[in-house]
């Protein structure tokens, strides 16, 4: 039967149902509009995987009434209840009964309330995804008990407090995504203890600076995304030592001071987004030598002096290079093919020539190109995380800073 798998277990020499997957796939059945979670599932004690995707779309179903959490399904390792807009209520404290869970995905539902502290009892958990819900409060301190946790995604909720100090003990963490919440306060220093962290996305919150110096310990970090936080700080010198960085994005963070010349050490960098800040000084010439760079945005700052990037660097980036609305910045470089409708030229012609007697007024045009996401596919899964302009279709569309234009450059397609 499609969507159901059985295994012959040695201890019983009987075939048992070990996997149920129902969702909008070609090879598996879809749910009826009247779907409910039946207590008959409790008669499947060897069930390892239960995946119900896009099943509860009409009639309201409260997660607290789902019979799974009160049962002792000792074999269950993977529970995914995703993309169910009618699945509401709070995450029950009885979730701790599923003691052998390795993967818990409750994303893109309509869940509310706080994250129960009992979630810290899931000692084998490796992947926790509660994104795209209406969760409030804070991440419980007990999250630090999840010593095997590698992926933590609670983005697109309404959490207000930053990561608890106990998170610093999660030495297997590779990804933290808490973007699009209501987090306040300073960046937690405990994040600097996460030696395996590859992706840190705290964008679209209300976090303040300064940027902690001990984040220099994140030597495996490849994606640092902090857009739209009122950091109101300058770049610490250690950023140039995070040599595995591929994406560095601080759009709209109130940054001041110069662009660090040590950014030229980041030879793996594919995208650098520092637009909509108050950065000053000149643009380091060395940035034009970065071999992997494919998108660079310094627009809407207070940069000055002459831009001295090599012509081949300018040609390679094309429209993915944006330096507009820096009234003190000039360039003697020329873009190519600017008269063609399909031109991939950069926006250099919107900055005056350094030989001009007077700089013209800055352009008010908006950037046309945005990629839906800048995070690697490894961490995005199949969720529609590209919808970064609002939590749902009924909320007001908000124009974001022009930073999300990396889909092609990250994956080479």
User: Which CATH number belongs to the domain containing residue 163 in this structure?
Assistant: 3.80.10.10
Residues 168 and 209 in one domain: yes
Residues 76 and 159 in one domain: no
Is residue 320 one of the residues assigned to a domain? no
Handedness of CA 262, 351, 336, 294 (dihedral sign): positive
Is residue 407 one of the residues assigned to a domain? yes
Residues 30 and 104 in one domain: yes
Q: For the chain, how many structural domains are there in total?
A: 2
pLDDT surpassing 50 at residue 339: no
- Domain span at residue 82 reads 1-149
Fill in the DSSP letter of residue 166. G
Is residue 76 one of the residues assigned to a domain? yes
Is residue 40 one of the residues assigned to a domain? yes
Residues 275 and 407 in one domain: yes
Residues 185 and 116 in one domain: no
Residues 269 and 413 in one domain: yes
Handedness of CA 85, 57, 39, 78 (dihedral sign): negative
Is residue 337 one of the residues assigned to a domain? no
Per residue in 227-276, pLDDT (tens digit) is 999 999 999 899 999 999 999 999 999 999 999 999 999 999 999 999 99
**259: nearest Cα among 228, 316, 297, 222:** 297
Mean pLDDT of 362-388: 45
Question: What backbone phi and psi angles, to 5 degrees, belong to 334?
Answer: -120, 140
**151: nearest Cα among 176, 168, 185:** 176
Asked if 251 contacts 230 with a C-beta cutoff of 8 angstroms, the reply is no
Residues 173 and 294 in one domain: yes
- Beta-carbon count within 10 A of 334 CB: 13
pLDDT at position 394 is 33
* Last residue in a domain, options 129, 149, 169: 149
* Last residue in a domain, options 120, 149, 178: 149
Is residue 342 one of the residues assigned to a domain? no
Question: Can you tell me the distance from the alpha carbon of 301 to that of 323, in angstroms, rounded to the nearest whole number?
Answer: 9
Is residue 200 one of the residues assigned to a domain? yes
Write down the pTM of the prediction.
0.84
* Last residue in a domain, options 125, 149, 173: 149
Question: Can you tell me the distance from the alpha carbon of 116 to that of 110, in angstroms, rounded to the nearest whole number?
Answer: 16
66-80, 279-293, 330-344, 353-367: range with lowest mean pLDDT: 353-367
Asked if 254 contacts 277 with a C-beta cutoff of 8 angstroms, the reply is yes
Residues 132 and 9 in one domain: yes
Residues 81 and 159 in one domain: no
Give the pair of three-digit tokens for residue 108.
């893109």
Is residue 333 one of the residues assigned to a domain? no
Residues 182 and 272 in one domain: yes
């Amino acid at each position: 039967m499609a969507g159901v798998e059985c295994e012959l277990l040695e201890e019983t020499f009987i075939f048992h149902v070990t996997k149920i997957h129902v969702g909008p796939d070609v090879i598996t059945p879809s749910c009826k509009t009247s779907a409910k979670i039946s207590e008959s599932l409790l008669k499947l004690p060897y069930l390892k995987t239960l995946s119900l995707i896009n099943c509860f779309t009409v009639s309201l179903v409260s997660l607290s009434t789902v019979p799974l959490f009160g049962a002792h399904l000792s074999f269950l390792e993977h529970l995914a209840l995703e993309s169910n807009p009618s699945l509401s209520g709070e995450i029950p404290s009885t979730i701790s009964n599923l003691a052998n869970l390795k993967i818990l995905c409750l994303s893109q539902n309509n869940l509310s309330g706080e994250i129960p502290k009992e979630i810290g009892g899931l000692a084998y958990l490796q992947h926790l995804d509660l994104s795209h819900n209406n969760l409030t409060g804070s991440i419980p301190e007990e999250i630090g008990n999840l010593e095997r946790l590698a992926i933590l995604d609670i983005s697109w909720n309404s959490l207000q407090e930053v990561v608890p100090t106990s998170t610093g003990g999660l030495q297997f963490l590779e990804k933290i995504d808490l973007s699009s919440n209501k987090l306040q306060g300073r960046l937690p220093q405990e994040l600097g203890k996460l030696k395996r962290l590859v992706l840190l996305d705290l964008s679209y919150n209300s976090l303040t600076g300064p940027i902690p110096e001990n984040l220099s310990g994140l030597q495996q970090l490849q994606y640092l995304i902090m857009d739209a936080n009122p950091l109101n700080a300058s770049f610490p010198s250690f950023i140039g030592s995070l040599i595995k960085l591929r994406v560095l994005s601080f759009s709209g963070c109130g940054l001041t001071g110069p662009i660090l010349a040590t950014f030229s050490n980041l030879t793996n960098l594919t995208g650098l987004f520092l637009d909509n800040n108050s950065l000053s000084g000149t643009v380091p010439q060395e940035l034009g030598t970065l071999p992997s760079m494919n998108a660079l945005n310094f627009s809407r700052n207070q940069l000055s002096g002459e831009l001295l990037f090599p012509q081949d660097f300018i040609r390679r980036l094309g429209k993915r290079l944006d330096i507009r609305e820096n009234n003190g910045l000039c360039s003697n470089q020329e873009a190519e093919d600017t008269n063609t409708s399909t031109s991939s030229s950069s926006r250099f012609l919107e900055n005056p020539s350094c030989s001009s007697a007077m700089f013209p007024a800055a352009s008010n045009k908006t950037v046309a190109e945005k990629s839906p996401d800048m995070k690697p596919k490894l961490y995005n899964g199949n969720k529609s995380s590209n919808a970064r302009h609002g939590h749902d279709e009924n909320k007001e569309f908000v124009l974001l800073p022009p930073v999300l234009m990396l889909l092609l450059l990250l994956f080479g397609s």
